[in-house]
Structure 1
Amino acid sequence: MTSSLRLETITPDNVGAACRLRVRPEQEDFVAPVAWSLAEAYANGETAWPRLIFDADELVGFVMGGFDPQSPVDVFRCGIWRLNIVAGQQGRGYGRFAVESVCAEARRRGQDRVTVLWAAGEHGPEQFYLRLGFRPTGQEIHGQIVGELLLAER
């Protein structure tokens, strides 16, 4: 991992590039487009944490965490809501950096558990999240598997 990786907030200057970000075609059924995620972030302004992932000056991805410690649904109190890595940039550690960044923000906010939802399928993100230490909880929400990472274990 290079020290040139960083997260940036979405601004008027970078929102267009963010909305043009595309994952591999076979992954499109597993993650919402960034434009949809930004609309969701706007609608959930108090809890959504959308960030762009840059390697030096190159946009390589998007991650959105969600932090709502008062949510009546424990799965939505602290988690990764979205992760999109540019099609040609996958497998280079950018997804791991994004997940670690959300975990760092969770710790900063006093959280000890991060959740993520994924749909099962050949081109889905399940193996990625399992490699990072997430474990299925046995729950499903909206037809998606709920995974959790206990931060105290890392």
Structure 2
Amino acid sequence: MSAQIRLVEITDANRDAVVAVRVHPAQERFVASVEKSFADARDNPEAKPWFRAACDGDVPVGFVMLSWDNVPGPGLCGPYFLWRLLVGAEHQGRGHGRAILDEVVALLRAAGATELLTSCVPGEGSPEPFYRGFGFVPTGEVDDDGEIILRLELGSRP
């Protein structure tokens, strides 16, 4: 099934509905909540956080946050880093995650980016297989939190 996803700016009008998007409880150790993401964005302005609600029609089904064109340095990957990607538990398995990443890739290409980095905690239930299936490959690096770093060459996606 092909999801029709729009990335929408988060406003006072949709904030509560976006914050209510939650992953399966078993996934919570791998993906921080939307509320935690807002706090991380506020506390780390040097990471140049960019975030959007992922909506199917008018319904928020997910959330995405990137570091957008930041200067890589200690604790900062980039210049483009997929910081958070989550799809609500009741919306999973419908292609929303891939559709969100397709939208992100299109925006990054339009901005002139050539690669997107992300990281994930390895282990049972990790999103690593999802990222690899999308085309991300491990860089061989591990961050300070023990997460593996993955790279997507934007020219490799159709």
Structure 2 residue 90 is the aligned partner of structure 1 residue 88: yes
- Give the TM-score, by structure 2 length: 0.89
Unaligned runs of 5+ in 2: none
Contact 1:48–1:66 at 8 Å: present in 2 too? yes
Say how many residue pairs are matched. Answer: 153
Corresponding residue for residue 30 of structure 1: 30
Among all aligned residue pairs of Structure 1 and Structure 2, give the percentage whose two residues are the same amino acid: 39
Structure 1 segments of 4+ aligned residues over 4 angstroms from their partners = none
Contact 1:80–1:99 at 8 Å: present in 2 too? no
Unaligned runs of 5+ in 1: none
CA–CA distance in 2 between the matches of 1:131 and 1:94? Answer: 14
Name the aligned partner's letter for residue 116 of structure 2.
V
Structure 2 residue 146 is the aligned partner of structure 1 residue 143: yes
CA RMSD of aligned residues (A): 1.6
Corresponding residue for residue 116 of structure 2: 114
Q: CA deviation at 1:65?
A: 1.5
- Could you tell me which of 104, 107, 119 is aligned with 1:105? 107
- Give the TM-score, by structure 1 length: 0.91
CA–CA distance in 1 between the matches of 2:111 and 2:54? Answer: 21
> SS where residue 16 of structure 1 aligns?
helix
- CA 1:109–1:69 in 2, change beyond 3 Å: closer, same or farther? farther
> SS where residue 62 of structure 1 aligns?
strand
> SS where residue 71 of structure 1 aligns?
coil
